Amino acid sequence: MPHWKNPWENAIPVPLEELAEALEGGEIETAMGVVPYDKEFLMTWFRSHGDKLDAYVLQTQGGAGKWISAGVRFGNEGHQYLSPYGDQKRLAALVQKYGTAAPVMEGND
């Protein structure tokens, strides 16, 4: 069960760790220098926003065409979410896996 109200009706809930796995790859520059943009980094970043986290993917369309957004909501306020960029093929796999299934929220507590 989600912790927060998600304003996007078509958001597809996914397990937090699976989202991190779909997003990992490459490196990111931080105050500590350049570090791997891997599952460990992402989970630390996500959890720095609290222990009640709802992960989701969202199919969207705009001027650049169709794409899949990823998000981690940490509160009910409109600005209380993270929206990291990820590989579209890996995010599409999450849409396919969870798009028609019942919400899967284990690991998001």
Q: State the pLDDT at residue 5.
A: 77
Tell me the two tokens of residue 79.
């600005």
Q: State the pLDDT at residue 1.
A: 64
| Strand ranges for 26-102 from DSSP E | 27-30, 33-36, 54-62, 65-73, 81-82
Please report where in the chains the tokens 């520059």 appear, as a residue: 29
Give the chain's mean pLDDT.
86
Checking if the pLDDT of 67 tops 80, the result is: yes
